[in-house]
A and B are shown apart, each in its own frame.
Chain A
């Protein structure tokens, strides 16, 4: 698997389709934790999030030939994960409070990479504490932008909304977050 570590996602997709299915394992390895974190956001259940991510990778493999090279693989796989997680969340709409993998994962990441702790990290810290209270409409773009550190375009591709709408929702989400923070 080491031979694939230096290759880009899109190149790995090409290799998986053309010759070696093992290359897909590297893609799974790269996105597994990120997708679980994101799915857990939407489902709020670690086990269900893991199921959703497993289904995501299986669906991703089955439909790999439909992957459009004009897009980033990350946007494409996140889109599948988003749909899977939403479906899963609808099925099991009960909210599990207290059990929250996302914070642990994020905490771990921050400890491993202390050099990245900066303004953005501080913003993320604030966002993390209040993001759960946001309506789903704002939660999705805010989580992807601040916590998954994606660009507006990537968020737009995942949520299939215009880039301008992403900006509006993130800004509106920030305003709501501020209101939540200033609440007595």
Chain B
């Protein structure tokens, strides 16, 4: 067995092994904090969408729950890098975080922020059917293992079938935030030509 001290010191002296700078660790700590913050915010955002859907007489959404749990898990994994994760009772901390995220999500869902976010094309599918935007889905298809994808496939097929149905049937019930009054004249405009056609048919015959 080679003398460990000698071989280690040889590598250090030759410059083969170098100490990482302090800036590297500071940047790491900042990124870690940012990652935790972003994961928690994402979890709260998904909870907010779930509650918003519930208030709009829809279901919370299985995918929303999955996304929320994924974000929370990411936050917990990152939090485990801190020393307090094993010094304090981590179970309680996780419980507090989950409750905090749900409460924050609930509060967010009662603010008008969703009216603005819902208009952003990337987020529309999340509000309407609890689904990630198509571009994100495509990326996930590459990295997600096949068994996990199969869980989502039956619902995707259902949605495809739904999309083939007429637009009027696709509209979800009780969407209170859509200005219905504005839509009415458009519907009349669309219906009028059809009525005219029907009326014209007997004459043609």
Contacts and interface: CB of A to CB of B under 8 A. Distances in A.
Interface of A: 17, 21-22, 24-25, 28-29, 32, 36, 46-47, 50, 53-54, 57-58, 61-66, 68, 156, 160-163
23 contacts: A21-B12, A24-B8, A25-B5, A25-B9, A28-B8, A29-B5, A47-B1, A50-B1, A53-B4, A54-B4, A54-B8, A58-B8, A61-B8, A61-B17, A62-B17, A63-B19, A65-B20, A65-B22, A65-B24, A66-B20, A68-B83, A160-B86, A163-B87
A162 B8 CA distance: 33
Interface in B1-15: 1-2, 4-5, 7-9, 11-13
Nearest to B90: A162
Interface residues of B, number: 24
Interface string B85-97: 1111100000000
B4 A62 contact: no
A91 B87 CA distance: 30
A156 B8 contact: no
A62 B19 contact: yes
Contacts of A21: 12-13
Nearest to A53: B4
Given A21-B13, A24-B9, A162-B89, A66 B25 contact: yes
Contacts of B89: 162
Contacts of A24: 8-9, 12
A23 B28 CA distance: 27
Given A36-B4, A58-B17, A63-B20, 7 more contacts: A47-B1, A50-B4, A61-B19, A62-B20, A63-B25, A65-B24, A156-B86
B30 to A, nearest CB: 14
B189 interface: no
Contacts of B21: 65
Q: Which 5 interchain pairs have the tightest Cβ spacing? A: A28-B5, A160-B86, A57-B8, A66-B25, A25-B9
A116 B25 CA distance: 42
B18 A62 contact: yes
A47 B41 CA distance: 48
Contacts of A53: 4
Contacts of A47: 1
A161 B11 CA distance: 33
Contact of A65 (B4, B25, B88): B25
A182 B17 CA distance: 51
Interface centre among B7, B19, B21, B25 (most CB of A within 10 A): B19
Interface in B21-61: 21-22, 24-25
